[in-house]
Amino acid sequence: MFQDKKVVVVMPAYNAANTLRRTHEEVMAQGVVDEVVLVDDCSTDDTVDIARDLPHTHVHPHEVNTGYGGNQKTCYRLAVELGADIVVMVHPDYQYTPKLIPAMVAVIGNGLYPCVLASRILGGSALDGGMPLWRYVANRFLTFAGNILMGSKLSEFHTGYRAFSREILEQLPLDENSDDFVFDNQMLAQVLWFGYTIAEVTCPTKYFTEASSINFFRSVKYGFGCLGTAGLFRLARMGVWRSSLFPADRRGHASENPSPDA
């Protein structure tokens, strides 16, 4: 709980048995998280069994694998149904430190910004933290293209560590997004389309064997998907193309006070 606002962490999980307990313990140790929602996307290991033994955790196993985006759709829906005012997505593979949760929650809970990203690029140490050079170059190029086409100034679009106010989650047409990895990028594009401002905090980079990561070919597909999303955003803003991702009647319609108190 943060200033009477309910804080829920969502974990989109797939084969996270080796790191789940450690991640969960550190999440709860931050002292602001009320509940955890873990959605398992048909893991083949003991992720679900371990999750069911964890305190303050709601476990929702998918009957079929829906993909990373499909998993997140379930995560956010369940968090809103639980009455969350602030929702933080934390990957259960321990790639992102849960120690940033209080800072991210405070930004939203104090009404400063309704969306916060934990950026691996902002601090300038992504490569020192183990990010492969080809990923770093791709990240910088895709972020540059996204900023140009969508008129934003983010240090990176591609972090999986993010927090949202309840208002954003209720406003965005998330069901229109892909069930694949490009969901992440589409969601941030929608945040910008609806007129919300995105804040960033510096996040240390950690790459290790057990951290989940998509392979090169999936990364290429993701990259083209990001460019397609940014291009579609630009065309929709120019009024030459309509898209269900970016509804014309909601362009830039964020409230003047997009905090959880709104």
Residues 95-154 have pLDDT tens digits of 999 999 999 999 999 999 999 999 999 988 889 888 889 999 999 999 999 999 999 999
> Could you give the CA distance from residue 92 to residue 57 in angstroms, rounded to a whole number?
13
**pLDDT tens string 213-255:** 677 788 999 999 999 999 999 999 999 999 999 999 877 766 4
Q: Which two tokens stand for residue 98?
A: 């849960």
Distances (CA, A) of 70 to 135, 154, 175, 178: 24, 25, 9, 7
More confident residue, 210 or 33: 33
Looking at beta carbons, which pairs linking 43-49 to residues 24 or more positions away fall under 8 Å? Answer: 43/13, 43/14, 43/15, 43/16, 43/17, 44/15, 45/15, 45/16, 45/17, 45/18, 46/17, 47/13, 47/14, 47/15, 47/16, 47/17, 47/20, 47/92
Domains with residue ranges and CATH for the chain: 7-248 (3.90.550.10)
Collapsing DSSP to helix, strand or coil, 134 comes out as: helix
> Could you give the CA distance from residue 104 to residue 207 in angstroms, rounded to a whole number?
22
**pLDDT tens string 65-84:** 999 999 999 999 999 999 99
Q: What is the mean pLDDT of residues 44-70?
A: 98
Q: What percent of the chain has pLDDT over 70?
A: 94
Distances (CA, A) of 225 to 70, 150, 218: 16, 15, 10
